[in-house]
C-alpha cells in the first residue's frame, strides 16, 4: 500500500502545448473499447434463432434498457437515443469491472498458497494476527503467475474520465434540446422558468437572474453526475485495496469483490445511464 493514492502521469507536447494525462486511464479505456468491439463482432457472427451465451447477454441488456428508455422518452425519441444509452451503459459497466480482474487472480493465488503451504515447505504462511498475515510464494512455483498479473485500474476511478463522460452526456442532451425545441425555444427553457418572460420582455432575458441560476444548475448537473460515479468507484476500490492488503486476500475480500466490485459497479453504471435518460427527457 506504499503507492496508495499515487496517480500515473505522462506529458505530451501538442502544437506547442504541454498536456499532462494519466496513461493508465488512457490505456484501460482503449482496452475496454477494443474488448467491447470484439464481443460485439463475435456476437454478431454467431447470431441464431437459438441464442448462445454471448447473444443472450447482449439481448438481455438491450431488452432491459429498451423497456426503460422507451417507457421514459416515448417510442420515437427512445429508439433514437437507445444506441447511445446502451453504449454508455456497457462501457461504464466494463470500466467499473475491469479492476476486479487482477484482484481475483491474486485472491485465487492466495488461496492456493494457503493450501499448498501445508504440503510444500517452500511456500510459507505466517499468521501473526488477523491483520498480519505473511504469505511467501517462490517465483518458480506453478501458481506464482497469479501474483504477476498487471494491475488493471478502473478508468472510472479517474475523475477526468468521469467528467469526460458527464460532458459527453451534457453535450448530447443540449444538442437534442436545440434540435427538439429550436434555438429560441431552447433558450426560453432557461429564462422562462420559473417566471415567464413573454413578448418584448424576452429581449431582456439576460436581466433575469433565474437565467443564470438555470445555467449554473445545468453545469452543476454535469459535476454531480460525474462525481457521483467517481466517488463510488474510487471509494469502493480503495476499500478493496486496503482491506485486501491487510488480510492478504483471505476470506473478507471475497465479499468485498462481490459488493464493491460487481454489485456496486453494476448499480453505478445503471444510475449514471438512467440519469442520462432523465436529462434527455427534460429537453422534450
Conformation bin of residue 120: beta by default, left when phi > 0, alpha when psi is -120 to 50: beta
- Lowest model confidence (mean pLDDT) among 167-171, 172-176, 202-206, 264-268: 202-206
Least confident stretch, 39-53, 103-117, 172-186: 103-117
> pLDDT tier at 1 (50, 70, 90 boundaries)?
very low
d(CA 82, CA 171): 16
Region 106-126: mean pLDDT is: 70
Q: What pTM was computed for the model?
A: 0.77
Amino acid at each position: 500500500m506504499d503507492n496508495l493514492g499515487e496517480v500515473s502521469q505522462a506529458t505530451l507536447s501538442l502544437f506547442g502545448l504541454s498536456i499532462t494525462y494519466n496513461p493508465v486511464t488512457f490505456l484501460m479505456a482503449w482496452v475496454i473499447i477494443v474488448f467491447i468491439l470484439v464481443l460485439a463482432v463475435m456476437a454478431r457472427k454467431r447470431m441464431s434463432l437459438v441464442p448462445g451465451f454471448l447473444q443472450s447477454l447482449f439481448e438481455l441488456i438491450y431488452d432491459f434498457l429498451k423497456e426503460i428508455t422507451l417507457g421514459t422518452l416515448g417510442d420515437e425519441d427512445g429508439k433514437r437515443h437507445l444506441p447511445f444509452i446502451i453504449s454508455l451503459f456497457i462501457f461504464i459497466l466494463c470500466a467499473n469491472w475491469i479492476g476486479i480482474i487482477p484482484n481475483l487472480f491474486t485472491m485465487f493465488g492466495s488461496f492456493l498458497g494457503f493450501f499448498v503451504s501445508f504440503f510444500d515447505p517452500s511456500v510459507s504462511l505466517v499468521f501473526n494476527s488477523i491483520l498480519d498475515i505473511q504469505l511467501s510464494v517462490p517465483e518458480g512455483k506453478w501458481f506464482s503467475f497469479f501474483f504477476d498479473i498487471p494491475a488493471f485500474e478502473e478508468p472510472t476511478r479517474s475523475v477526468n474520465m468521469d467528467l469526460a463522460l458527464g460532458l459527453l452526456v451534457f453535450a448530447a442532451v443540449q444538442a437534442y434540446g436545440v434540435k427538439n425545441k429550436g434555438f429560441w425555444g431552447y433558450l426560453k427553457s432557461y429564462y422562462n422558468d420559473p417566471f415567464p418572460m413573454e413578448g418584448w420582455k424576452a429581449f431582456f432575458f439576460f436581466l433575469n437572474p433565474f437565467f443564470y441560476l438555470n445555467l449554473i444548475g445545468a453545469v452543476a448537473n454535469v459535476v454531480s453526475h460525474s462525481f457521483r460515479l467517481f466517488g463510488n468507484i474510487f471509494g469502493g476500490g480503495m476499500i478493496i485495496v486496503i482491506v485486501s492488503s491487510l488480510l492478504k486476500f483471505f476470506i473478507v475480500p471475497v465479499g468485498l469483490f462481490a459488493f464493491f466490485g460487481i454489485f456496486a459497479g453494476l448499480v453505478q453504471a445503471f444510475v449514471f445511464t438512467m440519469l442520462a435518460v432523465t436529462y434527455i427527457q427534460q429537453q422534450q
